[in-house]
A and B are shown apart, each in its own frame.
Chain A
Amino acid sequence: MYSEKVMENFKHPKNQGEIKDADGVGEVGNPVCGDIMKITIKIKDNKIEDIKFKTFGCAAAIATSSMITELAKGKTLEEAKNITQKDVSDSLDGLPPIKEHCSNLASEGLNKAIDNYKMKKKE
């Protein structure tokens, strides 16, 4: 059902955890749908210096979370914002159609974390 890449990222997720003094936090999903993602980022010189995730969800949700942190790490905020659902899915060699929403959740989570950082900066 899942690609090898999905299973690899599910079994050995990268960047799991939570940055304690994060510059931006993005929380998406809800317990009813069964997927909850929390992405924390650390920004330095307009770049994502560090990024971590915590996810409650199925293998696809965990794998997409892991992949988005990999894709976003070291990128400028503009570059990171441009990471699409498709980028995440393609990097995992695709997801089953019913699980595509998981990659959407991942890019949404990252976007929220970046927005949160920008909002905090303005304050």
Chain B
Amino acid sequence: MTAKTTIYLDNSATTEIHPKVKDAILPYLEDLYGNPSSLHAKGQEAKKAVKTARKQVANLIDADEDEIIFTGSGTESNNLALKGIASKNKNRKNHIITTKIEHKSILNSARWLEREGFKVTYLDVDENGTVNLEQLKKEIRPETILVSVMFANNEMGTIQPIKEIGELLKDKDIYFHTDAVQAIGKQPIDTKGLNIDLLTLSGHKIHAPKGIGALYIKKGTEIDPLIHGGGQEQDLRSGTENVPGIVGLGKAAEIAKDNLESNIDHLRLLGDKLEKEIFKNIPDLILNGHPDNRIPGNVNISFKYVEGESIMLMLDCEGICVSTGSACTSKSLKPSYVLDAMGKEIVYMHGSIRFSIGTFNTEEEIDTVIQKLPKIIKDLRTLSPLYNEKEFKKK
């Protein structure tokens, strides 16, 4: 049974393509099919479009045009940042610092680098999901090449002390990378002011299509490519450019930049209302993530005594799309490593639901969720042996 209307509150997973982004892309799926490397008119049209898009992306993060490399995804950008910097410096130094709550594209790149002989330190986070700056200071060694700390976490939205880390590393011979996939369009990001050397962003989280990402690489930063070939993207990402994707990302970046303040206000208003009303209407729950210092519109709540996948599917039956950190939806059958790193109780880890609000959500939609959720939780709790017999869990 498919619900007639969908209330999409999973914008941290992906977003709807903006109509203006679609309009910008369409000509590049039709007449403007040139290869930017071709010297003829058809190629030059495409080359111009890529240049415009690069400028648009650079503007969003206060960078220069030639500091933007287009890639195939946020994952690829993260791989390029970690492996590219590690490879370039391998004869000099061998240590990388990151955190326990990074996206898998960072964590699994770091693990691969460990197998290649690099040393990696994974920083802890506190109960709000914030990294400890003191621990970072202690872990810095003469061999440290790179520090990679995400701007905001994808599950519970906590914003990391990026400015402080940038300050700390500014005068050191250590690169600073941040995965800003979840923060772009929801936070002002000024790469220069924040002393960031490399920054990852992705198109489909900001209303551009899937299959397009970018990596900001500060001028003067030496890095090895992962993909070798015809030398596109300053020899750092060979392969004929994904012109429609690049144009889409450029347009999406422009829209994000022009509407940054109003978008933040919109997401915050809806997110705060959702959070406040859920806490008012439903007992026995906790907020995951920092109480205030989170990306706006990210509301991650653990409902005690019930399991996340069940909540998610019940909401889905009502046409409401959310996601869960529950073990039952992961391939490994392990609950969220992010909530685990934050030291959450196991019963809470299984019952986490992430509502991630986007630009196109309305207050009416939030009201519908607020209205439908209490019954779903109540029904599932009635079914739960943990709810009435709280002593069972102690056994």
Contacts and interface: CB of A to CB of B under 8 A. Distances in A.
A57 B346 CA distance: 13
B333 A57 contact: no
Contacts of A35: 307, 328
Contacts of A10: 310, 313
Which bracket fits the contact residues of A? 20 to 34
Contact of A54 (B329, B346, B385): B385
B128 interface: no
B335 A16 contact: no
Contact of B385 (A7, A55, A99): A55
Contact of B382 (A16, A98, A99): A16
Contact of A27 (B314, B317, B346, B385): B385
A16 B380 CA distance: 11
Interface string A24-52: 00010001111111100000000000000
A27 B386 CA distance: 11
A55 B384 contact: yes
A36 B306 CA distance: 10
A36 B385 contact: yes
A62 B383 contact: yes
A71 interface: no
Contacts of B70: none
Interface in A1-19: 7, 10-11, 13, 16, 18
Contacts of B393: 31
A38 B310 contact: no
A11 B333 contact: no
Interface in B306-348: 306-307, 309-310, 313-314, 317, 326-329, 331, 333, 335, 346-347
Nearest to B347: A31
B383 A32 contact: no
A90 to B, nearest CB: 21
B355 interface: no
Interface of A: 7, 10-11, 13, 16, 18, 27, 31-38, 54-62, 98-99
Interface of B: 305-307, 309-310, 313-314, 317, 326-329, 331, 333, 335, 346-347, 350, 382-386, 388-389, 392-393
**A-B interface, 9 closest residue pairs, ranked by CB to CB distance from nearest:** A58-B328, A58-B309, A54-B385, A38-B385, A56-B384, A34-B327, A34-B350, A56-B386, A59-B313
